[in-house]
């Protein structure tokens, strides 16, 4: 969960810097061209891989199927030839010895193999173990090339059987192959098994060649697709990137920046529309700046010009106020009202002058070490008469031992005075609490009241100039409506935050967060903006004359 300061900074008009994007995700998020090219390459890779597998499977299946068909035909023909030789030898008047007969059969069959040999032959006895019968095979071919399952199927069957195997030679070499077996009968000896071993070396080489061709072609196609995607995307992204860079320069104050569109396509029309928009914005911003300058100058001039007649009126009002005891009741009351309204008028002029300094950018800080606990104590002491009139108790919580910041004491005291006065005025006689928080980077002060409170929208509007939560509410102390606005400007001048929380009927909480040093950039506040007693019962209104208490 984010700190309260980050969640609520938008309400108080304080911008919290976003964490910088770093690592591999940075270029991915920032570059549209990279995402388009990478996505295109990924999709192309998936498609090419799928097509490559399909092609290799079709070629492999075709090669194997053709080899099996030819091998079965050759093996069947060899079986017929071998059986013919055996039958002829059995009917001959000069029978051959068993070994000679077996050698003759294998020799005749091998003569059909060609050079280099297309197959190997094994003629093995099917007699029970322990029987002695001559066997013969191709030179260097090992009997272990035949799987036991195949021999069992041939021994117990009457038809051809085949399986894929590894042909092993007596010199230790091996090659993939196809084994085809069929039973034979030698009248003078007994049952035999005839096996053909067809090497698949040529098919394997053909498949390897196809695989290398597919991989090479796929790599070339993938590179071509990547280059094409990069080129096409660049044509589209380049104007968009130029628009983004121009917009960034415009937002930084370089209002004269413009795009340079080329051609008449959609992107060129976008660039010209962008330039028209920038021209219009520059013109309107110039008008607003001139109007703002005139308004600021007017406020400053009027505030300064009113000082002189106000001083004269103040001197006359002071004379009348000091002599009010000699007047009748109505005149004395008028003198008191005149004095009160002059105080309000002077406060408003002072606030307007301060606002004009902020608007002109000439407000400066007089920095020195400031203990926020002492500042809060002075503010509470000076607002004691106001707290007594409102019958409100101001409760100051115990503070951490280190609440010292580098700040302008006059401005910090003005912020806390505005917060405490507002809390007393709007607290409806309930207690006002002041608490502190501190960490290595910042010190925070919170002022909590239990009055009418603020809704979510008002928590941000409360810092606007001359804003009032209830326009019909009567002012009892003559506020100008500029106090919280000036306070927020003072907090921002220190690099700090001034934020507000409120809930209708639950009161409000204003939090001032100041960095311990101007070099510190605030990321969070040591004091939660949402008060811990937000859901608790509202404290009863104080029935006291004095309004200060300590909470330990």
The separation between CA 508 and the C-alpha centre of its own chain, rounded to angstroms, equals 34
pLDDT above 70 for 175? yes
pLDDT above 90 for 197? yes
Looking at the fold, whether 85 and 189 belong to one and the same domain comes out as: yes
Q: How many domains does the chain have?
A: 3
Predicted confidence at residue 506, as pLDDT, reads: 86
Range of the domain at 353: 258-363
Q: How far apart are the first and last CA of the chain?
A: 30
Looking at the fold, whether 314 and 463 belong to one and the same domain comes out as: no
Predicted confidence at residue 8, as pLDDT, reads: 40
Looking at the fold, whether 92 and 241 belong to one and the same domain comes out as: yes
Neighbours of 73 (CB within 10 A): 10
Looking at the fold, whether 429 and 313 belong to one and the same domain comes out as: no
Predicted confidence at residue 443, as pLDDT, reads: 92
CA neighbor of 138 nearest in space, from 116, 158, 160: 116
**Sign of torsion, CA 458 459 462 463?**
negative
pLDDT above 70 for 471? no
Residue ending a domain, among 199, 233, 252, is 252
* pLDDT tens digit sequence for 351-386: 777 777 777 676 778 889 999 999 999 999 998 988
Mean pLDDT value of segment 506-516: 91
Give the CATH number of the domain where residue 490 resides: 3.30.565.10
- 162 phi and psi, to 5 degrees? -145, 160
CA neighbor of 551 nearest in space, from 539, 537, 535: 539
Contacts of 406 (CB under 8 A, 6+ apart): 367, 368, 369, 370, 516, 517, 518
Which of 77-86, 459-468, 473-482 is predicted least confidently? Answer: 473-482
Query: pLDDT: is 488 or 479 the higher one?
Result: 488
Q: Across the chain, what does the average pLDDT equal?
A: 81
Whether 3 maps to a domain, the answer reads no
Mean pLDDT value of segment 165-173: 89
Looking at the fold, whether 262 and 152 belong to one and the same domain comes out as: no
Give the containing element (helix H, strand E) for 158.
none
Secondary structure of residue 444 in the 3-state scheme = strand
Contacts of 482 (CB under 8 A, 6+ apart): 348, 351, 352, 354, 355, 465, 466
Neighbours of 181 (CB within 10 A): 26
Looking at the fold, whether 74 and 48 belong to one and the same domain comes out as: yes
pLDDT above 50 for 538? yes
Residue ending a domain, among 363, 397, 425, is 363
* pLDDT tens digit sequence for 35-47: 888 888 899 999 9
Beta-bridged to residue 443, according to DSSP, are: 438, 514
The b/e string for 520-552 (b: 16+ C-beta within 10 A; e otherwise) is bebebbbbbbebeeeeeeebebbeeeebbeeee
Looking at the fold, whether 351 and 445 belong to one and the same domain comes out as: no
């Amino acid at each position: 969960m984010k700190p309260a300061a980050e969640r609520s900074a938008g309400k108080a008009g304080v911008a919290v810097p976003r964490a910088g994007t770093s690592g591999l995700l940075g270029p991915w998020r920032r570059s549209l061209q990279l995402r388009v090219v990478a996505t295109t390459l990924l999709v192309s890779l998936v498609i090419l891989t799928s097509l490559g597998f399909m092609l290799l499977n079709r070629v492999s299946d075709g090669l194997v199927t053709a080899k099996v068909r030819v091998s079965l035909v050759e093996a069947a023909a060899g079986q017929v030839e071998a059986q013919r030789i055996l039958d002829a030898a059995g009917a001959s008047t000069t029978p051959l010895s068993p070994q000679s007969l077996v050698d003759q059969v294998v020799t005749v069959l091998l003569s059909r193999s060609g050079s280099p040999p297309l197959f190997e032959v094994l003629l093995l006895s099917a007699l029970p173990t322990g029987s002695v019968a001559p066997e013969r095979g191709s030179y260097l071919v090992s009997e272990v090339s035949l799987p036991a399952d195949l021999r069992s199927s041939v021994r117990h069957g009457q038809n051809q059987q085949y399986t894929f195997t590894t042909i092993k030679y007596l010199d230790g070499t091996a090659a993939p192959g196809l084994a085809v077996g069929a039973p034979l009968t030698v009248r003078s000896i007994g049952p035999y098994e005839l096996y053909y071993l067809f090497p698949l070396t040529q098919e394997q080489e053909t498949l390897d060649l196809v695989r290398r061709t597919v991989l090479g072609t796929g790599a070339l196609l993938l590179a071509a697709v990547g280059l094409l995607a990069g080129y096409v995307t660049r044509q589209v992204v380049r104007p968009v990137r130029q628009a983004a860079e121009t917009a960034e320069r415009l937002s930084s104050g370089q209002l004269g920046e413009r795009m340079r569109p080329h051609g008449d396509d959609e992107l060129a029309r976008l660039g010209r529309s962008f330039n028209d928009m920038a021209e219009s914005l520059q013109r309107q911003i110039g008008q607003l700046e001139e109007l703002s300058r005139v308004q600021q100058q007017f406020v400053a001039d009027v505030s300064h010009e009113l000082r002189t007649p106000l001083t004269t009126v103040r001197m006359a009002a002071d004379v009348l106020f000091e002599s009010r005891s000699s007047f009748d009741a109505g005149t004395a009351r008028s003198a008191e009202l005149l004095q009160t309204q002059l105080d309000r008028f002077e406060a408003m002029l002072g606030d307007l002058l301060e606002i004009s300094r902020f608007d002109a950018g000439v407000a400066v800080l007089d920095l020195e070490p400031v203990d926020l606990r002492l500042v809060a104590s002075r503010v509470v002491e000076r607002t004691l008469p106001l707290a007594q009139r409102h019958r409100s108790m101001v409760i100051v919580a115990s503070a951490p031992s280190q609440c010292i910041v580098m700040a302008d004491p006059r401005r910090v005291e003005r912020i806390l005075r505005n917060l405490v006065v507002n809390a007393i005025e709007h607290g409806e006689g309930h207690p006002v609490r002041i608490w502190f928080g501190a960490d290595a980077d910042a010190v925070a002060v919170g002022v909590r009241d239990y009055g009418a409170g603020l809704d979510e929208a008002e928590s941000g509007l409360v810092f606007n100039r001359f804003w009032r939560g209830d326009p019909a509410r009567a002012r009892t102390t003559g506020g100008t409506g500029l106090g919280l606005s000036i306070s927020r400007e003072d907090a921002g001048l220190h690099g700090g935050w001034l934020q507000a929380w409120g809930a209708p009927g639950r009161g409000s909480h204003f939090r001032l967060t100041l960095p311990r040093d101007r070099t510190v950039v605030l990321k969070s506040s040591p004091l939660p903006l949402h008060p811990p007693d937000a859901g608790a019962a509202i404290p009863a209104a104080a029935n006291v004359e004095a309004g200060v208490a300590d909470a330990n």
